[in-house]
Amino acid sequence: MSLYILLAAAVLILCVFSDKLSGKIGVPALLIFIAVGIFFGSDGVVRIQFENYEFASNVCEAALIVIMFTGGFSVSLKAAKPVIAKALLLSTLGVAVTAGVVCGFCVLALKIPFAESLLIGSVISSTDAASVFSVLRSKKLNLKNGLAPLLEAESGSNDPFSYMLTMISLSLLKNEGTGFIRGLVFSQLVFGTLFGAVVGIVGAFAAKRFRTQTEGFKSILYLAFALLSYGLPSLIGGNGYLAVYIAGIIMGNARVPSGHCSVKKHYIKRFFNNVLGITLFGGKKIAPADTVVFLNGITGICQILVFFLLGLLATPSEFPKSILPAVAVYLCLTLIARPVAVIIFGGKSPIADRIFISLAGLRGASSIVFAIVATVNVSTSQNNIFNIVFCVCLMSMLIQGTILPAAARGLKLIDNNADVLKTFNDYREEDSITMMRMFIPENHAWAGKKLSEITLPTGSLAVMVKRGNETIIPRGDTEIHARDSVILSVPPYESDKTLPLREVYITENHRWRDTEIRELSLPQRLLIVMIKRAGESIIPSGATKIESGDIVVVTDVHEDKTG
């Protein structure tokens, strides 16, 4: 037993370090997790013999529950609202078109029987949320035209429909009647949606009302409702993944209402606000910060587990038999099926947007997990579906995941004034206060004065004074010395439409990077008023050097005049 525990520790450490490595070599971390699994697998160096598809299927399906709940929980409805219709079309009808095109290609070009071709198309029809989120977050792709929330909403919501198509394909392979398939579609969609909404509403209500004696227990409550949302519809043939995602969206966006504006005009909003005391837009978020950290942490473990297990299950020595059909399917999927779906259901988007959306259709863990489900349920097959899908997903993550940042720059879709992290619900923007450090130089107006003699900015409070290695909790009679650092708690910066303020995100290639403010040739209308760095708000001076990763808040009079 001790040996297995040490092995698990070694795998986790390797995966954590590989995540850091992925940023340097430009390869998605999830792909490296698979490589670690292959390293330990039967064809790797350690040579662990693992061929239990049924066990892998159960473990991966359980992990997907957490991953998909967190995916729904993380999607900000406020950010996704302008693109939600387009995202839903891509994640439903777009998935069907993708599966249909791949199916047709497999039948005509590869001479694979129809039912098996449909199964291959269904399994790889959805984009993988973990892969897409990984690239967008790790590379901080701040995209124009609402592309980030579109891709996040689509990739998070299309797995349930891919799973439904997979179940339909398996029914065809088992020669089950059309009546059974019609009932399957009905139960998957209706029960999945119904139970997802009900559990999400009840879960949000419970999270608002329930108080725990032990810190962190509310996070377990969220996890319990995630499992509940999957288990209930699955018992009666509903789509558990659809229910999990819907419950995650509702619970992740549930907030304590602030203001009543148009709530009384809509019955659904009135029910949420007046009856349950929650709303999906505005107000203060119900989920505490530790819940967000907990869900992100356990999701990270689940992603490592899934990708490692998939790598462990893979047998690269058998890939040569499947590589030609896998390459053909990948080329069809990437160059024909995905672009066709985007052209039909992508709306009136610019050509550059459509190209990027097509390219961002990464395949990953969910497709491989559905391939495992297919392998467990199909006793005979002319092709090794698992190996074909595995190779397709490897190519997708390696090729598309690697070139996606360069493609965004080449298509001129990078917006340095945006922040992709704001499109996620776990973006920390709702703290009631933020901490700001004020360094007191020689001859400063505060030097030599007691705190009671100083007029602090409105709404701020001096909470700490750092003097060399000494930390002082200030009182009214505390004297401020030159070279002290005064730590203030202040209201957080929020963009106000009455003020011409905007944020500039400093990338590695930004022209302001590693430059002192006094060295910048700024227009007279432009002033840098604040720098947000690693959670700290800095009031800049001429000697302040701007660093990569900074968010520079500027006031731009020109923007105010032009609207």
Per residue in 407-437, pLDDT (tens digit) is 888 988 887 665 555 555 544 444 455 677 8
Q: How many Å separate Cα 365 from the centre of its chain?
A: 14
How crowded is residue 26: how many other Cβ atoms within 10 Å of its Cβ? 13
- What token pair was written down for 260? 């009543």
> Which of 68-77, 87-96, 183-192, 509-518 is least confident?
68-77
- Residue 419 has φ and ψ, to the nearest 5°, of -140, 110
Q: Higher confidence at residue 151 or residue 210?
A: 151
Mean pLDDT score of the chain, rounded to an integer?
Answer: 81
Residues carrying CATH 1.20.1530.20, the chain: 2-423
Give the DSSP letter string of 391-460. HHHHHIIIIIHHHHHHHHHHTT-B-TT--GGGGBTT-----S-EEEEEE--TT-TTTT-BGGGS-PPTT-
Cβ atoms of 513 and 546 within 8 Å: the answer is yes
Residue 333 CA: distances (Å) to CA of 124, 338, 389? 9, 6, 11
State the average pLDDT over residues 180-204. 92
- In this predicted structure, the answer to whether residue 497 has a pLDDT above a threshold of 50 is no
> What pLDDT shows up at residue 431?
46
Angle at Cα 123 formed by Cα 380 and Cα 309, nearest 5°?
85
Angstrom distance (rounded) from CA 378 to CA 174: 8
> What pLDDT shows up at residue 3?
72
Task: Write out the H or E segment, with its range, that includes residue 465.
Answer: strand 461-467
Cβ atoms of 339 and 66 within 8 Å: the answer is no
Q: Rounded to 10 degrees, what is the CA torsion of 201, 202, 203, 204?
A: 50
Over the stretch 110-150, which tens digit does the pLDDT of each residue have? 999 998 999 999 999 999 877 777 777 666 667 887 788 88
- Counting residues of the chain whose pLDDT is more than 90, the rounded percentage is 24
Q: Which CATH number fits domain 496-563: 3.30.70.1450, 2.60.40.10, 3.40.190.10, 3.30.470.10?
A: 3.30.70.1450
- What token pair was written down for 39? 């390293």
> What pLDDT shows up at residue 168?
92
- In this predicted structure, the answer to whether residue 541 has a pLDDT above a threshold of 90 is no
> Which of 104-113, 272-281, 314-323, 440-449 is least confident?
272-281
pLDDT classification of 492: cutoffs 50, 70, 90: low
Give 465's strand partners.
472, 486
Residues carrying CATH 3.30.70.1450, the chain: 431-492, 496-563
pLDDT classification of 533: cutoffs 50, 70, 90: confident
> Which of 150-159, 234-243, 286-295, 509-518 is least confident?
286-295
> What pLDDT shows up at residue 430?
45
Q: How many Å separate Cα 366 from the centre of its chain?
A: 15
Angstrom distance (rounded) from CA 124 to CA 363: 7
- In this predicted structure, the answer to whether residue 187 has a pLDDT above a threshold of 70 is yes
| Residues 6+ away with beta carbon under 8 Å from 504 | 416, 417, 510, 512, 551, 552, 553, 554
Q: Rounded to 10 degrees, what is the CA torsion of 38, 41, 43, 44?
A: 60
pLDDT classification of 283: cutoffs 50, 70, 90: low
Q: How many Å separate Cα 331 from the centre of its chain?
A: 26
> What pLDDT shows up at residue 228?
95
Q: Higher confidence at residue 166 or residue 305?
A: 166
Give 490's strand partners.
434
pLDDT classification of 99: cutoffs 50, 70, 90: very high
CATH class held by domain 431-492: alpha beta
Angstrom distance (rounded) from CA 182 to CA 487: 64
> What pLDDT shows up at residue 271?
52
Q: Which fold has domain 2-423?
A: Na+/H+ antiporter like fold (1.20.1530)
Q: What is the pTM of this model?
A: 0.70
State the average pLDDT over residues 75-86. 79
- Counting residues of the chain whose pLDDT is more than 70, the rounded percentage is 81
Over the stretch 434-476, which tens digit does the pLDDT of each residue have? 677 888 888 888 888 988 888 887 767 888 888 888 888 888 8
- In this predicted structure, the answer to whether residue 262 has a pLDDT above a threshold of 50 is no
> What pLDDT shows up at residue 152?
82
pLDDT classification of 45: cutoffs 50, 70, 90: confident
Give the DSSP letter string of 178-235. HHHHHHHHHHHHHHHHHHHHHHHHHHHHHHHH---SSTTHHHHHHHHHHHHHHHHHHH
- In this predicted structure, the answer to whether residue 284 has a pLDDT above a threshold of 90 is no
Cβ atoms of 367 and 393 within 8 Å: the answer is yes
